[in-house]
A and B are shown apart, each in its own frame.
Chain A
Amino acid sequence: MSWWDMGDHGFYVWTAYGLAFIFSLWLIAWPLYKQGRFLRQLKQQADSLEAASEAEPWPQPPASDDVP
Chain B
Amino acid sequence: MWQWLHRWGSPRWFYVQSRAWLWVLAVAALPLLGAGLIWGLAFAPVDYQQGHSFRIIYIHVPAAVLAQNAYILTALAGSVFLIWRIKIADILASVAVPIGMGFCVLALLTGSLWGKPIWGAWWVWDARTTSTLLLFFLYLGLLALRTALPTAGAAGRGCAILALVGLVNIPLIKYSVDWWFTLHQSATFKLTEAPAMPAVMYVPLLITGLGFALLFVFVLLLWARLEVLERERNTSWVVALTRTGSS
- Measured CB to CB, the residues of A under 8 A from B are 3, 6-10, 12-13, 15-17, 19-20, 23-24, 26-28, 31-32, 34-36, 38-39, 42-43, 46
B110 contacts partner chain A, Cβ-Cβ < 8 Å = yes
Give B41 Cβ to nearest chain A Cβ, in Å: 7
* 0/1 string, B224-247, CB within 8 A of A gives 1: 011001100100001101110101
Number of interface residues of B (CB under 8 A): 39
User: A13–B242 Cα gap in the complex (Å)?
Assistant: 45
Residue from the list B37, B41, B242 in contact with A46, Cβ < 8 A: B242
| Cβ-closest chain B residue relative to A46 | B242
Q: B41-61: which have CB < 8 Å to A?
A: 41-42, 46, 51-53, 55-56, 59-60
> What are the residues of chain B within 8 A of A9 when measuring CB–CB?
51-53, 117
B63 contacts partner chain A, Cβ-Cβ < 8 Å = yes
Give A26 Cβ to nearest chain B Cβ, in Å: 8
Dominant secondary structure at the B interface:
helix
B109 contacts partner chain A, Cβ-Cβ < 8 Å = yes
Contacting pair A31 B109 (CB below 8 A): no
Contacting pair B56 A16 (CB below 8 A): yes
User: A10–B222 Cα gap in the complex (Å)?
Assistant: 34
> What are the residues of chain A within 8 A of B145 when measuring CB–CB?
none
> What are the residues of chain B within 8 A of A27 when measuring CB–CB?
99, 102, 215, 219, 222
> What are the residues of chain A within 8 A of B114 when measuring CB–CB?
12, 16
Give A57 Cβ to nearest chain B Cβ, in Å: 21
Residue from the list B42, B117, B222 in contact with A28, Cβ < 8 A: B222
User: A35–B99 Cα gap in the complex (Å)?
Assistant: 17
B223 contacts partner chain A, Cβ-Cβ < 8 Å = yes
Contacting pair A24 B52 (CB below 8 A): no
Give B73 Cβ to nearest chain A Cβ, in Å: 15
Give A19 Cβ to nearest chain B Cβ, in Å: 6
B113 contacts partner chain A, Cβ-Cβ < 8 Å = yes
Contacting pair A38 B230 (CB below 8 A): yes
| Cβ-closest chain B residue relative to A43 | B242
Contacting pair A10 B52 (CB below 8 A): yes
Contacting pair A39 B241 (CB below 8 A): yes
Contacting pair B222 A15 (CB below 8 A): no
B203 contacts partner chain A, Cβ-Cβ < 8 Å = no
Give B52 Cβ to nearest chain A Cβ, in Å: 3
